[in-house]
Structure 1
Amino acid sequence: MPLSLPRRRAAAFALALTGCASLFASAAHAGDWPERPITLVAPFTPGGTTDIVARAIAVQLQQQLGQTVIVENKPGAGGTLGAGVVARARPDGYTLLLANVGHAAAGVLYKNLPYDFERDMTQITTVANVPNVLVVAKNLPVNNVRELLAYAKAHPNDINYGSAGIGTTQHLSAELLKKQTGIPALHVPFKGAAPMMTDLIGGRLTFALDSAASAAAQINGGGVKPLAVTSLTRTRFLPDVPTLDESGVPGYQMTTWYSLAGPKDLPPAITDRIYRAVRAAMDDPGMRKALDSMAADPGGMEPAKFQAFVHQETLRWTDLARDWDNAN
C-alpha cells in the first residue's frame, strides 16, 4: 500500500538521519585513526630499493602517527601481487602499498589483473624519487655508453639485461633504452633487484638499469661499472657519472618514483593524515639522511597533484609497455 505524504516525508527524514549518522561515524573513525598497527606492503623482495624505501618511511610514519608500521614483503609478478593485496583490502588505512612507477604500466604487461592501479587505488603522495643507473659487469669490455651500444650491435645474439620483474622500473628503463638506440637485448626478469644484481655481478647478464640506491653498494664495491644515469641532469650522488642524454642517447629520461597508495575509497581524512605525516617526515633529519643514503630526492606531492601525475605517467609508460607486449 503506498505511503501517505506525511509518512513518505517521515521515511525520507529517517533515511537522511541514518546517512548523517553514518557520515559522523566515519568522520569519528577517521579522527581516531590509527588505533592499531598499520601494514605497509613492499611488493618486492628484501634488499631492493622498494624495500629500502618502505622501511625508511615506515620508521617515520611510526613516529608521526604514533602507531606501529609493519613492512610486509609480498614479491611476485613485477609488484602486482602485493598491489593486488592492497587493492582488495578494506579502505580503513591499515593496509598501504609502497608503489613505484612500474605499477603505472602493469595493466598492459600482466593480463587479467584483478585491479586497476588508477581506478582501484587511492594515490596518496610520493615518498622518494631516484634516478636509475646503467651498470654492466666489471669484466665486460666496455667503459661507456657508446662502447656498450657498439658491443651490443656487434654481438646481437649475446646481449641480455636483467630486471626485478616484468613492468618494473628496470624493465621499463631498458625498454626505453632499446627503443631510443635500436640495440637488441633479451629481457631476463627476476623476483627482485637483489637476485638480479647477483647474476649481473656473476657475468650472466650484460647490463641492467637499476636504481642508484640499489646499485650503490656494488658500484662502490667494484662489483659493477656505472656507465650513465637516467635523469636529464647528473645526480649529486654520482657526480662523475654522465647522463644517458650526454652519452649519446639524446632526450633519454627515466626517474623512478616511489609512493604510498591505499585501497579505493580511502577516507579523505585518513589520506590527508598520511600525506601530512609524509610531509613532516621529509623535513626530519633522519629521513633526509636515509634518502641521501638511497641517492633519493624527497617526495611529498599533494594527493590531488599526485593523482594527476599518476594519470600522466600511466599514459606514458602504458604506450611503451604496449609496444614491448606487441613485440613479444
Structure 2
Amino acid sequence: MRFKTLIAAIGAATALSSAAYAQGYPERQITMVVPFSAGGPTDTVARLVAERMSADLGQQIIVENVGGAGGTLGAGQVAKADPDGYTILLHHIGMATAATLYRQLAYDTLNAFEYVGLVTEVPMVMVARKDFEATDFKDFIEKVKAQKDTINMANAGIGAASHLCGMLFQSSIDTQFTTVPYKGTGPAMTDLLGGQVDFMCDQTTNTTQQIKGGTIKAYAATSPERLAIFPDLETVTEGGLPQMTVGIWHGVYAPKGTPAEATERLSKALQVALADEKIATAFGDLGTTPSSAEEATPAALKEKLESEIARWKPVIEAAGVYAD
C-alpha cells in the first residue's frame, strides 16, 4: 500500500513538474545550430524562420553556424547538447544522406534527436557558366557527356546539396565528371561566375539572383512542376530525366531526451512562422514555399527522414563515394 502511495506521489510530482516546465518554456534565448557557413542557402532559410519563431516564443533564437564535414559537425554538436529545449538544429537533406555517406558518424541519425518539424523543400536548378553553348537541357546533357573528359562540375563539398544533386545527375545519365569540391556554396558560385568551373546543381535559394541577373545560365529545375519564379525553365522530367526530381528539404531537430513539452512548443512556433505571409513572400523570392502545418510536425519530419535515408542509400553506394 505504501509502495503504491509512493508511486502515485512520484507520478503526481512528475506531472506537476512537466506542467510547470510547459508553462514556463522558454525562459531564455534558444540557440539554433545551422551546420553550414553563414550566407549559404540553409543559413538563409534558418534566419528567416528563427526571426519569426522568436516572435511567437517570446524569446530570441540565435543562429549559430557550425560548418564542416558536410553538416555532421554541427549535427553532432546538437546531438551531444543538453536536452533542455534550448539548443536545436536546422538541417537539410544531408541529415538523411550522412547516414550512408559517412562511414563513422558521432551520432545515430535516427535515434540521437527529437523531431520538431519540416520547414521547406527547396528545388534545385542545373546551372552553367553564362557562355555555355547548350540551348536546352537535352542539348546540355548531350554536350556534357561528349565533353566528360574535359568538363568539370562544382559542388560545395561532400554531403552538400550540390554534391548530392551532382551525384544524382551523374547516376541518371550514367556519366562521371571531374568534380571540384569547395568549402561552401559561396566560393563554388564565385568560380562558376568567373568561368573557372563549367556547371553545378544547386538550390534556388543560392542561384535565383544570379539566374535573374544573367550571370549564369539555367537549364532545368529538379522540381516535379515548373517553378513559379522561373515559368519558362523546363523541369528535369521534361528534359528526359524524371529520376532526377529532388528537393532539398529542411527540418528542425532537438537533442534526444528533450522534453515533449519543448518540442511541441517549438513545433507550434514553427507552424506559426511558416503561416506568416512575410515568410511566404521571402521564401517565394527564393524559389520555394513554406511547409504546411501538417508537415511542420514531429511525425512528418520523422517519416521524411526515414524515407529519405532509404532513398539515398543505394544512390550513394552505387557512386562509391564515402567520407571518413
TM-score range, shorter chain: over 0.9
Q: Which residue of 1 aligns with 2:163?
A: 171
Equivalent residue in structure 1 for 2:206, among 205, 214, 218 = 214
Instruction: Find the counterpart in structure 1 of residue 309 from structure 2.
Output: 314
The residue type paired with residue 70 of structure 1 is I
Residue matched to 2:248: 256
Structure 1 position 84 matched with structure 2 position 76: yes
How far is the alpha carbon of 1:69 from its aligned partner? Answer: 0.8
Counterpart CA distance in 2 for 1:20 and 1:157 is: 70
What is the CA deviation profile of residues 115-159 of structure 1, one whole-angstrom value per residue up to 9, with x for unaligned ones? 122211112111112100000011222232222222222222223
8 Å contact kept, 2:120–2:290: yes
The residue aligned with 1:244 is 236
Q: How far 1:20 sits from its partner (Å)?
A: 4.1
- Structure 1 220/249 Cα, relative in aligned 2: closer, same or farther at 3 Å? same
Q: Distance in 2 between matches of 1:127 and 1:38?
A: 18
CA contact (8 A) 1:281 1:287 kept: yes
Contact 2:153 / 2:197 at 8 angstroms: preserved in 1?
yes
Q: How far apart, CA to CA, are the structure 2 residues paired with 1:275 and 1:89? A: 19
Letter in 2 for 1:279: Q
Q: 1:17 to 1:158 in 2, by over 3 A?
A: farther
**Aligned match of 1:226 in 209, 218, 222?**
218
Deviation readout 1:31-88 (Å, 9 max, x if unpaired): 2111011111111112211000010001101111010111111111111111111111
- Does 2:39 correspond to 1:47? yes
The aligned runs of 1:123-162 (5 Å cut-off) are 123-162=115-154
One-letter identity of the residue aligned with 1:266: T
Secondary structure, in 3 states, of the residue corresponding to 2:223?
A: coil
**Paired residue for 1:63?**
55
Task: Quote how far apart the aligned CAs of 1:208 are.
Answer: 1.0
Q: In the alignment, which of 299, 304, 312 is matched to residue 304 of structure 1?
A: 299
In the TM superposition, residue 237 of structure 1 has moved relative to its aligned partner by 1.2
Greater shift in the superposed pair: 135-144 or 72-81: 135-144
Deviation larger for 272-281 or 160-169 = 160-169
Residue-pair matches, total: 320
Q: CA deviation at 1:325?
A: 2.7
Q: Which has the larger radius of gyration?
A: 1
Q: Do the aligned partners of residues 46 and 325 (structure 1) sit closer, same or farther apart at CA in structure 2, a change above 3 Å counting?
A: same
> Partner residue of 1:323?
318
Structure-2 residue corresponding to 1:287: 279
Alignment pair present for 1:25 and 2:20: no
Unpaired runs of at least 5, structure 1: 1-8
Could you tell me which amino acid in structure 2 is paired with residue 323 of structure 1? A
Tell me which residue corresponds to 2:30.
38
Preserved CA contact (<8 Å) 1:230 1:252? yes
TM-score, normalised with respect to structure 1: 0.92
Q: Secondary structure at the match of 1:298?
A: coil
Which stretch of structure 1 is more off in the superposition, 240-249 or 197-206?
197-206
CA gap of 1:95–1:176, structure 2 versus 1, over 3 A, is: same
Q: Tell me which amino acid in the other structure corresponds to 1:82.
A: G
Which whole-Å CA distance do the structure 2 matches of 1:101 and 1:24 have between them? 38
Percent identity reads 37
Q: 2: distance between equivalents of 1:293 and 1:31?
A: 37
Stretch moving more, 132-141 or 149-158: 149-158
Letter of the 1:186 counterpart: T
SS at 1:132 equivalent? strand
Amino acid at match of 1:318: K
Partner letter of residue 314 of structure 1?
A: I
Runs of 5+ unmatched residues, structure 2: none
In the alignment, structure 1 residue 270 sits paired with structure 2 residue 265: no
Shift of the 130–327 alpha-carbon distance from structure 1 to 2, 3 Å rule, reads: closer
Distance of 1:52 and 1:326 partners within structure 2: 28
**Take 2:3 and 2:151, find their aligned partners in 1: how far apart are those partners?**
72
**Root-mean-square deviation (Å):** 1.9
